[in-house]
Chain A
Amino acid sequence: MNQIIINIRENRVHFWDSILNSYSQIFFSTHKSFAILIMLVSFIDIYTGLMGALAVITTSLAAFSLNLNKPTIAKGLFGFNGLLVGLGLGIYYTLSWHLVFIIILSAIFTLLVSVSLQGVIGKYHLPYLSVPFLLGMWTFTIAAKHFEALGISERGIYYMNELYVVGGHSLVKVYEFFNQAEIPSIIKSYFISLSAILFQYNVLSGFIIAVGLLLFSRIAFVLSILGFSIAFGFYNMIDANITMIEYSYIGFNYILTSIAIGGFFLIPSARSFISVVLLVPLVAILSISLSTIFYYYHLAIYSLPFNAVVLLFLYVLKFRMTYSEKLTEVYFQYNSPEKNLYTFVNNKQRYKHLDYIPLKLPFMGKWTVSQGHDGDYTHQNQWRHAWDFVITNIEGKQFRGEGNYVEDYYCFNKPITAPADGTIEEVVNYVDDNIIGNINLEHNWGNTIIIKHDDETYSKLSHLKKDSIKVKKGDNVSTGQILAKCGNSGRSPYPHLHFQVQATPYIGSGTLLMPFSNYMVGEGENASLKSLQVPQHGETIANSETNHLLASAFNFIPGQTLEFETINNNKKIDLVWNVKINSINLTYLECRKTKAKAYFDCKGDLFYFTHFEGKKNNLLHDFFIGCFKVQKCFYPDYILKDYIPLHQIFPRKILWLHDFTSPFIQWATSSFRVNYSSSNDLLNPTEIELNSSYQNYIFKKKINQTNYSIKIDTLGIKKFSIMSGEQLRVIIRKENHEA
């Protein structure tokens, strides 16, 4: 027991989160104000509210003492089913010690069901929704019929008395005002349906929940209205009346289905909305048929239709043969339709190729792509994502003189290097180099090296010069290491390098689409740095050069501490950011004081932040935006551009409006750019300054901008300044004076 208490103390933040989030999770949310509103509504009937709270606390304590996954508990994912069972039982039975005991048991039972369901259907990446609540509720209502000690509550009937106890005359007046208000029946029954989620049947509760829903998410709010309206229309069509009690009591099924499908488990989009339009009538039909069956057992169907339809649909979506950008499942749940959508849009802009390995071009100097992807000659079908590289002179010719000998070709005998770290998987080094024009179809690939980069990524370098290969099977190679010389072996009429990435370790394997991490395209002043792109046919490309100063400044190693100081209102403030890594290998900076987290990734020469957790008024958030993406190559005046998810920096008031239309049309953008301004030495810089900024646009018209400047020296980031309008905020690295 002591141990449990210690655990709870240690995890006090987690614990309170788990309680609040259990309330908001009813609507898939982790929005704090929304949670408080729902909690208040649940306490309109004070005893029911207490029973709900009891169930939540029981679930959390039980979950913590069972040592279940803490972030999952904190997100309220276990608690909300217990809460619903607690509220359901609390409203049916009169308050007694027996009931308290029953509710504790029901909460534990619901937790067991939740965790087990997570184990069973979680592996198919399906949520258990409120299935545990259904099982818990049915189990206990059936059993409770045999518990003589539990009395059926009459509170549901004498509502006013209860209200009077809680809030006196005024609350009763407000309550009645809402119930008697002259509002269209559809709106009234919408509010009632919302309140029914908490086993209530009144307009006021529904209204408060609707306000909370709007605060939480505009998309979810729109979806709730959409779902309900469709159901309303459908009932009208079949000549049934949704305003009737039995239908209203389950009206939330349409609302929850609509939110779940339209905006929560899927990225909100036109397609997800169309899905809602088709699925809600299905929920209605299911409600009617299931109610008919359940009637025989004297059971309410509660949220069964919602659970059934959403789970069926989500499961079926997993069997799609191709990935669709228009109807996409949410892979990382931010518990907000807006955040999910904006992150998705941003990911599309930022990470075209999500799981890349940082590939460098496998040669030195400027080479030209003589055959790109889907080439005219051999890069077709399953070998479409390959490149042929040659060296050309100014006139575009690959050879000097007549080009009758392999030695005439500029690329012949030039060093070929490892594109990334790896292990040599296969080496062929016995195929003779062809005479110009001849091809060797017997040994199609010629002399070849295959490097294993990870279990699913291999790269293949072919047509190498005979006897030029310096590595053998099993050797470890590092990026840029010379492996061989370019040759003319195999199906190669003239010297060139064939390069491809593949998923299997065999010579002849099909290709895999993989971008190069960083390279320069073009010559002289027209040269531009590309990152994570695919070189095109005819492009002249070269590797970019890593700048050691930038590379070491943005090389954050887990365990490292960054200490800065800043002045706020003439007061010196210390900032301590720890570099950490979590169990799934995500690296992040964590503010020691506020625990805000800025997640980052670093691949090859690219450093970039991925997402942020915590309050945005934190200076770590400014750093997160200011260094959103940094390229570790220094090319003076080079500008690197990127996009920031809207919810990170867009002015909130305008974003609210934008939220409503966002599933269909995106008219706001937040863009990021960093300018490689100056370095104090060309060969061995000891100070570099980068200037970054973000701009917010409405219909391509700029509305605001904030500038940042990042000064880097040999010890890392020396100074970080934020210039927003007239305001200037400077963060300076704390020098270790003892050293």
Chain B
Amino acid sequence: MQKIPYEKPVINRINAGVPDKFGMKSRIQPITQIDDVTVRDLVQQYGSPLYVLSEKTIRNTYKKAVDAFKTRYPKVQFAWSYKTNYLNAVCQVFHQEGSWAEVVSGFEYEKAIANGVPGEKIIFNGPDKTRKDLTVAIDNGSLIHIDHLDEFYEIASIVKNSDKKAKVAIRINLDAGIYPQWFRFGFNFENGEAWNAINKIMQTPGFELQGLHTHIGTYIISPQAYGIATTKLAQLTVRIHHKYNHHIQYIDMGGGFASKNTLKGAYLPGTDTCPGFDDYAEHITEALHNSDIPYDHMPTLFLETGRALIDDAGFLLGSVIANKRLPDGRKALIIDIGINLLFTSFWYEHNIVPAQHTQLDMENTTIYGPLCMNIDIIREAINFPVMEKGEHVVINRIGAYNMTQWLQFINYRPKVVMIDTKGNTHIVREEETSETMNQLDRVPEHLKSVNNDH
């Protein structure tokens, strides 16, 4: 018998809802304004498509997160995960709020320094740190999170000839009871690799082991997993204290908190299922309080939350390019936002709504981007009202990763605008132009002329 090809199972909630005597009541609430600035004005002034960031939302979300943790545990420090969104303006808002910087490359490190972050307030993560990066980081007193033994040897050889000590932590991967288990980063807890690495660091001159770091995954919707992970790091902390009488200064629980976006294939929308900061905080701090770490030496709790802090503050505004009826009868809408601008549409069912009041009639619609690529699909199927060419749409919760993972592909990347806490708008990144695009191009002399007359 021939093997039946595997098909990924997907369960989709029927959005239709239960009809009452007035019929179906699924209706889309348009987003007409962001922080009291109308979408129409924004598009008119800055063009379409357009990224919009709300400074107020960033600050509010940050404070909410800090309070959730600090009211449960006194020593808490957030470090802004640069890769989530490293627009300078965004980083500065976080730094103003008291956040340190968490970087994963020499490039991000340079960015943080340029943003005025003191070296000692930078956490250097990631598997790829060059010798040059490490030398600078050690010199600046940054916290280096060691990912693998080769990195350890590299640091050892740098500090050997230096009077500076390397302030380090190690990245630990562990079984927190969730799937998938991320074991490609750092040292494994269960098989003793992490303990082995700790012993190496503790016994090598030139190292100062300040912290333990883990990052159990991304978009974790089970806060209990953080509790388990924290307990395991606390166990290591106590073990280090017992063996070396050395106090670990901080435990870094990384990031991975879910935002309210809905993952593809999820049965219920993210707004209903994703835990809030309080849930994560409760499990992490409870685990610390219940640990055997001596009270006088409770470590500082570091958090590198990215997505959950910035996602809500980002909006992507676009316009309808065309309406289409596909041969299979489905309705299609082409908008000027493509996957090049909305990278996260590969894994999220993004919430997309009109920017103005529309008719009540809705139809199952596929929303395509403007790219001349078959995969450029924003939503496969969504109940959407009829919209005219030139009308605007808003995609909310796009603050995380889109402004770093975006692709310059086929089109120029548009402007990014930030609405400050007083409702004024500022361009925080200009759109690309042909000049930007050609700036780095180099054409050999013999290719400069179109006329092939040699």
On A, residues with C-beta under 8 Å from B are 363-367, 391, 393-394, 410-411, 414-415, 478, 480-482, 524, 542-543, 545, 548, 681-684
Contact = CB atoms under 8 A, between A and B. Distances in A.
Interface in B116-148: 120-121, 141
B390 interface: no
A361 to B, nearest CB: 10
B72 interface: yes
A44 to B, nearest CB: 67
B289 A366 contact: no
Nearest to A407: B278
Contacts of B249: 683-684
A364 B67 contact: no
Contacts of B98: 524
Interface residues of B, number: 29
A542 B70 contact: yes
A684 B96 CA distance: 23
A394 B56 CA distance: 11
A364 B74 contact: yes
Contacts of A481: 295
Contacts of B72: 364-365, 414-415
Contacts of B250: 683
A410 B97 CA distance: 20
Interface in B86-125: 96-98, 120-121
Nearest to B143: A683
Contact of B71 (A363, A545, A681): A363
Interface of B: 59-60, 63-64, 67, 69-75, 96-98, 120-121, 141, 167, 208, 210-211, 247, 249-250, 289, 295-296, 300
A481 B247 CA distance: 20
Contacts of B120: 681-682
19 contacts: A364-B71, A364-B74, A365-B67, A366-B71, A393-B64, A410-B67, A410-B71, A411-B71, A415-B71, A415-B289, A480-B74, A482-B289, A542-B70, A681-B120, A681-B167, A682-B121, A683-B211, A684-B208, A684-B247
Contacts of B70: 364-366, 542
Contacts of A543: 74
Nearest to B69: A365
B60 to A, nearest CB: 6
A414 B286 CA distance: 11
Interface centre among B71, B120, B211, B250 (most CB of A within 10 A): B71
Contacts of B64: 393
A688 to B, nearest CB: 14
A481 B120 CA distance: 31
A524 B300 CA distance: 19
A392 to B, nearest CB: 9
B300 A364 contact: no
A365 B300 CA distance: 13
B74 A365 contact: yes
A547 B75 CA distance: 12
B289 A681 contact: no
Given A363-B71, A393-B60, A480-B74, 12 more contacts: A364-B70, A365-B74, A367-B71, A391-B67, A391-B71, A393-B63, A393-B67, A394-B59, A410-B71, A414-B71, A415-B71, A542-B70
B255 to A, nearest CB: 20
Contacts of B141: 681
B67 A366 contact: yes
B198 to A, nearest CB: 17
Nearest to A413: B282
A367 B250 CA distance: 24
Interface centre among B63, B70, B74, B97 (most CB of A within 10 A): B74
A545 to B, nearest CB: 7
Contacts of B71: 363-367, 391, 410-411, 414-415
Nearest to B121: A682
Nearest to A480: B295
Nearest to A546: B296
A478 B74 CA distance: 16
A684 B210 contact: yes
B35 to A, nearest CB: 14
Query: Which 8 pairs, one residue from A and one from B, show the smallest C-beta to C-beta distance?
Result: A365-B70, A365-B71, A683-B249, A364-B74, A684-B249, A414-B71, A682-B120, A364-B71
A363 B250 CA distance: 21
A510 B121 CA distance: 48
B295 A478 contact: yes
Interface centre among A410, A480, A681, A682 (most CB of B within 10 A): A682
Contacts of A545: 74-75
B445 to A, nearest CB: 54
Contacts of B208: 684
